[in-house]
Amino acid sequence: MNVFLIGSGGREHALAWALAASPLIGRLICAPGNAGTAMLAENRALDWHDHEAVVRFCRAEAIDLVVIGPEAPLVAGLVDDLEAAGIRAFGPGRAAARLEGSKGFTKDLCARAGIPTARYARFADAAAARAHVETQDFPIVVKADGLAAGKGVTVAQNREEALAAVEACFAGAFGAAGAEVVIEEYLEGEEASYFALVDGTTILPLVSAQDHKRAFDGDEGPNTGGMGAYSPAPVMTREREAEVLARIIRPTVTALAEAGTPYRGVLYAGLMITNEGPKLIEYNVRFGDPECQVLMMRLKSDLLAALEACVDGVLAHVDLRWRDETALTVVMAAKGYPGAYEKGSVIRGLDEAAKVPGVEIFHAGTEREGDLVRAAGGRVLNVTALGATVREARARAYEAIARIDWPEGFWRSDIAWRALAHEEQGSHQDQGSHEEQGS
Ligand code: AMP
Ligand code: GLY
């Protein structure tokens, strides 16, 4: 099967890595890709914004399946245009992609279907939003309705911050994405992500993961696209997974099917585990980045067969196997990210780093120039490791990082601190029961 993968991040390198390992793969082409995908696929400079050009390209290259990594092409309806041209594509069409493209759309769907989520109100003008803020307790969460590259959410600690966030949205800080605003209740708890493949009706649960959105250790500093992730997320017990499937994902899939806009693709539920149980924070209509990297490390089955079954509506026949180990990834980012940063610095030591057992290095913002790998983005590398325990996976990832020579980079040194705490608490409990048995 000839596969065309769209995107350029660590997520796409991890997807290319898993697709390239499939017994079904023919040619693998990636656009635009990065220095990592170039080792596994043919990188092309095609711009996905031109849907007709993508259709022509797929015909010329005899592409059997298009796999779309990021949300923007999905929300823009690339899948609809490919399908209209008779080309199979993995990911939801424009209508179902509103689950990520419009926070208000998702909140209304949750309200109609009784899905647990934060209480909310939607506003199309600043005066009404301001008046609403005056009636609220704090903290409160102010969100631009549309796609804002992870920057459209403000957790406002007080009235002034909430009003400032409302003003910013309506003043165009997020472009068209802020023309409407959702103001919602602040949820307390531990965050986790859960993923499922959906073929319109059948739901195939994947596994859980947790990411670290803040730039610096201790979950301090500005929000980023994600500075690291691990899977599984210990907070997602079997009972909670079952609850998320029954109370959140199943009713969503049913509602979209009944509306005549069935969901096909991977559904990523961002959750808050509150003391009233899991609640939906948001949906994404794609794999997470860097969550995908840890999912792909744990997946034992053929990714390509699963994605194809999803597109063809035969997911009921697929059974996926996962490694029990923990997978963990640490993002190495250019100093300054998520603000301004320099491009072009040289990264050395990648081959030595990749020799650490259980380690895969996925590239995000990189470019190759002859023998040199250069930084070409904010998030640059995802140093990813498997381990029998969280502690082992983490030790391996940081050992690999120690072999990478890139003075212009920075990374968090505490990825998976919560999972490590869960693990150590568990092993203390185990020790406790052994001692009791011994006495
Ligand atoms: P989102 O872009 O919706 O994922 O929001 C980004 C981050 O804001 C989430 O990962 C949460 O950490 C936080 N957040 C969003 N909505 C809420 C909420 N209702 N309560 C608490 N935190 C939230
Ligand atoms: N890591 C968060 C996301 O992919 O949205």
pLDDT at 266: 98
| Interval between CA 99 and ligand 1 midpoint (Å) | 15
pLDDT at 175: 83
Percentage with pLDDT > 90 across the chain? 91
pLDDT band at 428 (very low <50, low <70, confident <90, very high): low
> Tell me, what DSSP letter sits at residue 286?
S
The angle, 0 to 180 degrees and rounded to 10, between the axes of the packed helices 417-438 and 390-402 is: 140
CATH class as words, domain 190-425: alpha beta
| Interval between CA 210 and ligand 2 midpoint (Å) | 10
Once rounded to an integer, what is the mean pLDDT over residues 348-357?
98
pLDDT at 171: 87
Once rounded to an integer, what is the mean pLDDT over residues 310-320?
97
Mean pLDDT of the chain: 95
pLDDT digits (tens, 9 = 90+) for 76-134: 999 999 999 999 999 999 999 999 999 999 999 999 999 999 999 999 999 999 999 99
Residue 180 Cβ contacting ligand 2 at under 6 Å: no
225 close to 147: Cβ distance less than 8 angstroms: no
Once rounded to an integer, what is the mean pLDDT over residues 266-281?
97
Say yes or no to pLDDT of 433 above 50.
no
**β-bridge mates for residue 143, sequence order:** 153, 182
Minimal-distance CA residue to ligand 2 atom 5:
288
pLDDT at 338: 95
pLDDT at 5: 98
For a ligand 1 pocket test, name from 106, 117, 141, 186 the mutation site with the most ligand atoms within 8 angstroms of its C-beta. 141
| Interval between CA 153 and ligand 1 midpoint (Å) | 7
> Which H or E run contains 360?
strand 359-363
pLDDT at 172: 84
pLDDT digits (tens, 9 = 90+) for 8-28: 999 999 999 999 999 999 999
For residue 282, give the ligand 1 atom closest to its CA.
3
Once rounded to an integer, what is the mean pLDDT over residues 170-187?
89
Is the domain spanning 119-185 CATH 3.40.190.10? The answer is: no
pLDDT digits (tens, 9 = 90+) for 374-394: 999 999 999 999 999 999 999
Contacts of 330 (CB under 8 A, 6+ apart): 227, 228, 382, 383, 384, 397, 398, 401, 411, 412, 415
Alpha helices, H only, 324-404:
350-354, 390-402
Domain boundaries, the chain: 3-91, 119-185, 190-425
Residue 329 Cβ contacting ligand 2 at under 6 Å: no
Once rounded to an integer, what is the mean pLDDT over residues 185-209?
97
415 close to 227: Cβ distance less than 8 angstroms: yes
Residue 381 DSSP SS3: strand
For a ligand 1 pocket test, name from 143, 190, 211, 281 the mutation site with the most ligand atoms within 8 angstroms of its C-beta. 281
pLDDT band at 436 (very low <50, low <70, confident <90, very high): very low
Give me the CATH code for the 3-91 domain, please. 3.40.50.20
Say yes or no to pLDDT of 437 above 90.
no
213 close to 228: Cβ distance less than 8 angstroms: no
> Tell me, what DSSP letter sits at residue 339?
S
DSSP secondary structure string for all residues of 64-89 = SEEEE-SHHHHHTTHHHHHHHTT--E
Say yes or no to pLDDT of 427 above 80.
no
pLDDT band at 429 (very low <50, low <70, confident <90, very high): low
Residue 291 Cβ contacting ligand 2 at under 6 Å: yes
Cα–Cα dist 199/177, whole Å: 28
Percentage with pLDDT > 70 across the chain? 97
